[in-house]
Amino acid sequence: MNVIIGNIIIGAGIVIMFIGMFGFYRFKDFYSKLLVSATIDTMALVTVLIGAIIRSGVTWFSFKVALIFAIVLVLNPISTSKIALSARNNEVVKAEEQLEAEKLELEAERLKSVKDEWLEAEELELELGAERKS
């Protein structure tokens, strides 16, 4: 019975990993991606490790897995915060924000040129309509 329950929990951890991978690609911001990756990494690994502990029962292996579990719970938030701090100090995020701002500027220029073209075409239609009436 422990084997079946353990396998179900391990399978749930693997499903969490795959769902997290798809969710990771939906975010565009560096810090959002960092948050999602840390959360999914922790949740999926913790679920798989709990499944392994339940599957093996009370053994020496369970003790080693529980030790890995504790280490992950301590080190994952620390490593995530250090990565975020390093990104902030090295201005990686500022470069991404600048690139995004440049893209928005280009899009605004493109929309303005389309609007100007549309207004010119509308003026031409009005002039042609006025000429036809006279």
What single string gives the DSSP state of each residue in 81-96?
HHHHHHHHHTTHHHHH
Place of tokens 């701002």: 101
Per-residue pLDDT of the chain (134 residues; tens, 9 = 90+): 889 999 999 999 999 888 888 888 888 777 888 888 888 888 898 999 999 999 988 899 999 999 998 998 899 889 888 888 887 777 766 666 777 778 888 888 888 888 888 888 887 777 777 777 66
Measured distance CA(20)–CA(14) in Å, rounded? 10
Single out the residue of 30, 41, 25, 23 nearest to residue 86, CA to CA. Answer: 30
What is the per-residue pLDDT for 92?
64
pLDDT at 95: 66
In this structure, the number of other CB atoms found within 10 A of the CB of residue 54 comes to 19
C-alpha 114 chain-centroid distance:
33
* Among the listed residues 94, 84, 95, 89, the one whose alpha carbon sits nearest the alpha carbon of residue 36: 84
What is residue 35's predicted lDDT score, i.e. its pLDDT? Answer: 85
- H helices of 1-134, in order, are 2-24, 30-56, 60-89, 92-133
What is the pLDDT, as a whole number, of residue 5? 93
Q: What pLDDT score does 134 carry?
A: 62
Per-residue pLDDT, 30: 79
Confidence (pTM): 0.62
* Spatial contact of 42 and 51, defined as CB atoms under 8 Å apart: no
